[in-house]
Amino acid sequence: MDDTRQNRIYLTGFMGSGKSTIGPILANTLGYGFIDIDKEIERSTGKKIIDIFSELGEGHFREVERSVLLEACRLNKHVISLGGGTISNQSNLDIIKSSGILIYLKTNTEQIHKRLRRKTNRPLILAKSNGVISDQELTKRINELLIQREPYYTQADIIISTDDRKLGITVDQIMKSLTPFIK
Among 24, 123, 158, 177, binds ligand S3P (CB under 6 A): 123
Q: Which residues inside 31-50 make contact with ligand S3P, applying CB under 6 A?
A: 38, 49
Determine if 122 is a binding residue for ligand S3P (CB under 6 A): yes
Q: Minimum Å distance from CB 182 to ligand S3P?
A: 24
CB 10 within 8 A of CB 84: no
CA distances from 27 to 69, 157, 175 (A): 18, 18, 11
Count of residues interacting with ligand S3P (CB under 6 A): 11
CB 40 within 8 A of CB 139: no
Determine if 124 is a binding residue for ligand S3P (CB under 6 A): yes
Please give the Cα distance from 76 to 5 (Å, whole number): 10
Determine if 106 is a binding residue for ligand S3P (CB under 6 A): no
Please give the Cα distance from 80 to 129 (Å, whole number): 31
Instruction: Count other Cβ atoms within 10 Å, centred on residue 128.
Output: 7
CB 22 within 8 A of CB 32: no
Give whichever of 64 and 178 is closer to ligand S3P, judged by the CB atom.
Answer: 64
Give whichever of 14 and 32 is closer to ligand S3P, judged by the CB atom.
Answer: 14
Give whichever of 115 and 181 is closer to ligand S3P, judged by the CB atom.
Answer: 115
Candidates 101-109, 121-129, 155-163, 164-172: pick the segment binding ligand S3P (CB under 6 A).
Answer: 121-129
Dihedral angle of Cα 71, 76, 77, 78, to the nearest 10 degrees: -10
Give whichever of 8 and 19 is closer to ligand S3P, judged by the CB atom.
Answer: 19
Determine if 165 is a binding residue for ligand S3P (CB under 6 A): no
Give whichever of 84 and 100 is closer to ligand S3P, judged by the CB atom.
Answer: 84
Q: Which residues inside 49-88 make contact with ligand S3P, applying CB under 6 A?
A: 49, 83-85
CA distances from 92 to 22, 43, 63, 111, 151 (A): 22, 21, 11, 27, 14
Residues near ligand S3P, by CB under 6 A: 15, 19-20, 38, 49, 83-85, 122-124
